[in-house]
Chains A and B, each alone.
Chain A
Amino acid sequence: MDIFGYLEGMASQHGPSGHEGPVSQWMAEWFRPLTDSVEIDPLYNVIACKKATVATPDGSPAPKVLLCAHQDEIALMVSDILPDGTLRMGQVGGVDPRILPAGVVKVHASLSGEILTGVVGAVPPHLLSDADRKSNYKREDLFVDLGLSHEAVRQKVAIGDLITLCGPATKLLNDRCAAKTMDDRACVGVLLEAAERLQRMQHMCDVYFVATSQEEVGCKGAAVAAYTVDPDLAVVLDVSHATIPASRPDTTVPLDAPAATYGPFIQHKLLEKLKKTAGEHHIKLNTEHATSRTGTDTDNVQVARAGIPCVLIDLPLKYMHTTVELLDMNVMKECGRLLSHFLCDIDERWDEDLWS
């Protein structure tokens, strides 16, 4: 799969939580040639199914595996129109106000149907007190400048209109890449990489690839998708913090290899199975802990219906929730390779020894 081509495409899509309509259509087209069926549900989850290619030896139904990676993104919204036509911002998901000053954004103007370019402005430093100069700007202090008069803005933009961040895919050294929305569309890319590999492999399970919605506002899409698919087990893919100079000990994973989470929300035997698969295929797999909440779709999928055993694969990412989220494209490929082999290792006896 052309990973960079996919990342360039995904970074140009706009799909804030709850507004994944256009991005879900775009995602569906990627899954269509690789799967047997693709549907978009009422919450904009993209559910693509690839049926088992070999029957179980005992004739039992194929195990159903749910794969989740979220397609929604953090964003902002118009909360006020100021007298000079600039906009005040509210947020959709956790946007770090530190990334905003002098940033470029897109305002999705509902009244005119246009996507307008805006610049985030602030009171300049020489007009601030010494104390204020040492503090970061708060979102409430910043504004979006559309370069339009108050009247023009009023004709185009309504309170509540969405504002998305800009961060095109930028290729760096060593096959590393920075873009907005790597969290978590890069993991949807991992699903696609795995789906492409499965074209040349035999698997006994039915695989449900789901690009979930509304993860950033409480993993809501995944809860619904898990109900709909009713899987036997699930693999969730999400990004995880990679190490940077300011990182505190035991809070990050290295950038250069996939990782898997352990902790109460993760079925430990399934995790052992994932590690075994990784070992057999010489895939380096780091681990990280989550003492309860994982902050991913896992939190809702695990307790969907009567309960679903989950594992969580982590794609390391630097600078999460910025417009320069940075990862190693080779690690995306390794995650896809790991996932495809893991799916091939799921047979009718997958749950024989889960609880001993």
Chain B
Amino acid sequence: MELKQLCEMQGISGREEPVRMAIYHECVEKLGEENVTIDKMGNVIAHKAGKNPDAPHVMLTAHMDEVGLMVINATDDGLLRVRAIGGIDPRVLVSKRVRVGYDVPGKDGKEEKKAISGVIGAMAIHQQSAADRKNVLPIDQLFVDIGAKDKDEALRYAPAGTPVTFDTPYTPFGDGLLLCKAADDRVGCYNMLRLLDAEVSGDTDFVFTCQEEVGCRGAAGAAFRLMPDIAIALEGTTANDAGDMPEVSKVCKVGQGVAISFMDNASIAQPEMFAEMMNVAKACGAAHQVKMSVSGGNEGGVMQRTGMGVRTCVLSVPCRYIHSPSTVCALSDVEAQYQLAKAYLEK
């Protein structure tokens, strides 16, 4: 699948179904139905046998879900009340476009449905008080306007629980950069789909996980089921490298290669595995960097503490403005993540 298609697909945490089914079908096409499972959490697990029976059993993850919003109610005048699913700074929501609901193709007895457009407005600058200008609008004062005239109409189009995603077209820009939504972590999904073709050394389970953004809930169950020897998360991570950022605050640099974490807020990379990953990166020529700052958390944490313990390492594509409607990453870093993961799996 193309990265554009994956990034523009809708799938907030707990409602990953459009992404899940597209990924499931591609996995089945490549590995056969008998090797692909959708588990009880909604993860897609694609199994590939290794060529070396002595090589460790590897679990690779990339999460399907993206941060977004969920409808909880509507105002009397027809505006949707929403809450964030995953960590979203409300300041990035003002004056943005969203898609409300998902496109559902009319097949298998399902009624065809289309997502509808919405916008998040705010009081005009002319009418703001000094306090309005200063204070951040919290999520309960931001509304999604779909053009509905009253509460009934609004909730008919978007009942409570309706998922809402950013409406950002996939836009290449600058010097090899990409502007999109959901790069975290569709870049990982994109690479993992490509890795299904790798000549893996050990038995490998490619796990497209759900609910990472609300506490890595999908990866926990999948790791328990698989009990791998090694787990690697393919992620998108915050870069913090642009503008007048002090050098000490930078986490990694966009365009400088895949970021290998020695530690983040969820786990410490298994030191031998970290060293091995650095060596593989050097040997295969994949552009790489060490994630410079302890920041963010991801599935590495829950996988590491599964069962009797799992050796983990995290390989990330650096992303600017992560968890916003306008995530920026470098296509060369996406490629580097693929190269390094492939070289490691085939070793």
Question: Residues of A with Cβ closer than 8 Å to B?
Answer: 82, 84, 86, 94-96, 98-99, 101-104, 116-127, 133-137, 143, 145-149, 152, 167, 170-176, 178, 241, 243-248, 251, 256, 295, 318-324, 326
Contacts and interface: CB of A to CB of B under 8 A. Distances in A.
B137 A98 contact: yes
B321 to A, nearest CB: 5
Contacts of A319: 95, 119, 121-124, 145
A174 B125 CA distance: 26
What 8 A-B pairs are tightest by C-beta distance, nearest first? A147-B174, A172-B147, A319-B121, A99-B95, A176-B147, A147-B177, A324-B119, A102-B324
A35 to B, nearest CB: 32
B108 interface: no
Contacts of B171: 104, 117
A318 B127 contact: no
Interface string B70-89: 00000101010000000001
Contacts of A135: 134-136
A318 to B, nearest CB: 6
Given A147-B328, A173-B157, A251-B127, A127 B249 contact: yes
A126 B179 contact: no
Nearest to B123: A246
Contact of B126 (A103, A241, A256): A241
Contacts of A143: 242-244
Contacts of B225: none
Interface in B234-272: 238, 240-245, 249
Interface of B: 75, 77, 79, 89, 91-92, 94-97, 116-128, 132-137, 141, 143, 145-149, 153, 157, 167-168, 171, 173-177, 179, 238, 240-245, 249, 295, 320-322, 324-326, 328
Given A171-B117, A245-B75, A125 B127 contact: no
A104 B174 CA distance: 13
18 contacts: A84-B243, A95-B125, A96-B128, A98-B91, A147-B173, A149-B175, A170-B167, A172-B117, A173-B147, A173-B157, A176-B147, A244-B123, A245-B141, A319-B124, A319-B145, A322-B94, A324-B121, A326-B119
Given A98-B91, A148-B175, A172-B117, A124 B123 contact: no
Contacts of A94: 125-126
Contacts of B295: 126
Contact of A121 (B119, B143, B243): B243
A136 B91 contact: yes
* A contacts with B: majority SS: loop
Contacts of B326: 102-104, 119-120
A322 B324 contact: no
A321 B126 contact: yes
A100 to B, nearest CB: 8
A216 to B, nearest CB: 11
A241 to B, nearest CB: 6
Contacts of A98: 91, 94-95, 122, 125, 133, 137
Given A82-B243, A104-B179, 17 more contacts: A84-B243, A86-B244, A98-B94, A98-B133, A116-B174, A127-B240, A136-B133, A146-B173, A149-B175, A152-B175, A170-B167, A172-B119, A172-B147, A173-B116, A175-B147, A246-B141, A326-B121
A170 B135 contact: no
Contact of A136 (B135, B321, B322, B325): B135
Nearest to B249: A127
Nearest to B117: A170
A62 B244 CA distance: 62
Given A124-B240, A322-B94, A244 B173 contact: no
From B95, B117, B241, residue with most partner A Cβ within 10 Å: B95
Nearest to B118: A172
A124 B134 CA distance: 17
A130 to B, nearest CB: 12
Contacts of A243: 77
A245 B135 contact: no
A119 B119 CA distance: 19
Contacts of B153: 173
From A102, A318, A326, residue with most partner B Cβ within 10 Å: A102
Nearest to B176: A147
B244 A99 contact: no
Given A98-B95, A246-B123, A174 B324 contact: no
Contacts of A175: 147
B179 A119 contact: yes
A121 to B, nearest CB: 5
Contacts of A116: 173-174
Contact of B147 (A118, A124, A134, A174): A174
Given A119-B179, A145-B242, A245-B77, A101 B324 contact: yes
A286 B324 CA distance: 39
Nearest to B145: A326
Contacts of B92: 101-102
Nearest to A86: B243
From B121, B145, B171, B243, residue with most partner A Cβ within 10 Å: B243
A30 to B, nearest CB: 25
A273 B33 CA distance: 75
A153 to B, nearest CB: 10
A146 B157 CA distance: 38
Nearest to B124: A320
B299 to A, nearest CB: 19
Contact of A241 (B120, B127, B136, B244): B127
Contacts of B322: 124
A37 to B, nearest CB: 36
Nearest to A180: B95
Contacts of B124: 96, 241, 319-322
B136 A324 contact: no
Contacts of A122: 91, 243
Nearest to A124: B240
A125 B119 contact: no
B256 to A, nearest CB: 12
